[in-house]
Homo-oligomer: A and B are copies of this chain.
Amino acid sequence: MSNATLTIDLNALAANWRALDRMTDVPTGAVVKADGYGLDAGRVGRALADAGARHFFVAAAEEGAILRRAIGEGPEISVFSGHMAGDAEIIRSARLTPLINSVDQLLLHVEMLAGHRFGIQLDSGMNRLGMEPSEWAAVRAIALAQEPTLIMSHLACADTPDHPMNAQQLATFRDMTEGVDVPRSLAATGGILLGPDYHFDLTRPGVGLYGGLPFAQATPVVSLDVPVIQVRDVAVGETVGYANAFVAKTPTKVATVAAGYADGLIRAMGGQASFRHAGQTLPALGRVSMDMITVDVTALEDVPDHLQLIGPEQTVDQVAEWAGTIGYEILTSLGGRYARVYLS
C-alpha cells in the first residue's frame, strides 16, 4: 500500500455539531460546501442529518444536487452562489434553495422558476456576495412578496472577535432586515462564538464541524498516516531532495514517505513541518515533492510502517501554520489518492 490513510471520525464531526448547537438557542445548520470541506459531502451530510441538522449550505448548485442524492428529501439545501445562468434545471430537480445575491439573480429566478423557493443573501459590508443596501432597498418589497425562506449575510472578520467590523456588519444587517418577518441568519462558526446578538434564527457552522479554528474546543476529525517507502543513512555533508535543500550536519537517518503536494500537503510547509510517531517529533527535511516527503527519523530505533502528519497531537491548524495558511485550506486540499477510512 503506497497510499496514505486518511481517517475521518464522523462521531467527532457529529459531536462538534452538537457542541455548536448547544451554544445557541436557535436551530443549527451545517455548511458542507467544497465536498464537505474535502471529507465527502455525502458522508458528512448523512452523519450531520443523523445528528439533527435540517438545513445544509453548499457553494454551487452542482454540489447541492450531489448532496440531495446523499441525504434524501427532508433537509433544506441552500446554495450560496444563488441562481446563476444555467442553474434552473438543477435547482428545480434537486429541490435546492438558491440564496439570491443580486437583482439580476432575482429576475432570473422569477423568470425561470416562478414559485420555486429561494432565500436572500445581503451584503452587510464584506463586498463579496449578496445584495448591496441600495439594491435591496429597490427590490425589497417585490422580493418579500415572493416569500423567501431565509435572509442571510456573512461576516468578514468573525475569526477576530474584537474587530470593529463585526459590530458594524451586525448593525447593517439589522438595519437591512428591520421589520422583516423572515428567518434570518448571520453566524457561521466564528459568529456563533461572538454570542447571542449574532445568532438570529439559524446558525450555519462550517469549519468548526471539521475540527478547525476558530472553534478551539472542537474535537479533531481528521488524521493522516503516511506510509514509509524506504529508510537510508545520510552522512555529514550529503544533501536530501530537490535543489539540495537539506544538507546533513550530523549523521541522519532519513525516511521517505509516500505523500506530497499532489496530495494537498502544501509545498510551502517544506522545512517547517514535522511528523509524529510514538511521542517523538520527526522534522520533515528539504522540499516537499509531488508524491513524497523526506523525514528525519534519527530519533527512532525502529522505523514503523507509517508516520503521522495529522492527528490528535498535531491538528490541521498546526499543519496550516507550517504552510503559512489556515486550517480550511489544509482540509479542502486533502487529495484524491488517500485510502479513506470513515469511523462511525
Residues of chain A touching chain B, judged by Cβ–Cβ distance below 8 Å, are: 1-3, 33-35, 38, 59-63, 79-82, 84-87, 101-102, 104-105, 123, 125-129, 132, 156-157, 159-160, 165, 227, 229-230, 232-234, 238-244, 254, 256, 258, 261-262, 264, 266-268, 289-292, 294, 305, 324-326, 328-329, 332-333, 336-337
Residues in B neighbouring A79, C-beta threshold 8 A: 2
- On whether the beta carbons of B292 and A156 are closer than 8 Å, the reply is no
- On whether the beta carbons of B129 and A325 are closer than 8 Å, the reply is no
Residues in B neighbouring A232, C-beta threshold 8 A: 123, 127, 132
When all copies of this chain in the complex are counted, the total is: 2
- On whether the beta carbons of B239 and A156 are closer than 8 Å, the reply is yes
Question: With A227-B84, A332-B261 known to touch, is A128 a contact of B291 (CB < 8 Å)?
Answer: no
Q: Please, which residue of chain B has its CB at the minimum distance from the CB of A38?
A: B262
- On whether the beta carbons of A229 and B81 are closer than 8 Å, the reply is yes
Bound-complex Cα distance A38 to B40 (A): 19
Query: In the assembled complex, how far is the CB of residue A9 from the closest CB belonging to chain B, in whole angstroms?
Result: 21
Residues in B neighbouring A264, C-beta threshold 8 A: 333
- On whether the beta carbons of A33 and B290 are closer than 8 Å, the reply is yes
Residues in B neighbouring A254, C-beta threshold 8 A: 127
Query: In the assembled complex, how far is the CB of residue A75 from the closest CB belonging to chain B, in whole angstroms?
Result: 20
Q: Which of B81, B165, B261, B290 contacts A244 (CB 8 A)?
A: B165
Q: Please, which residue of chain B has its CB at the minimum distance from the CB of A305?
A: B85
- On whether the beta carbons of A241 and B127 are closer than 8 Å, the reply is yes
Residues in B neighbouring A337, C-beta threshold 8 A: 34-35, 60, 62-63
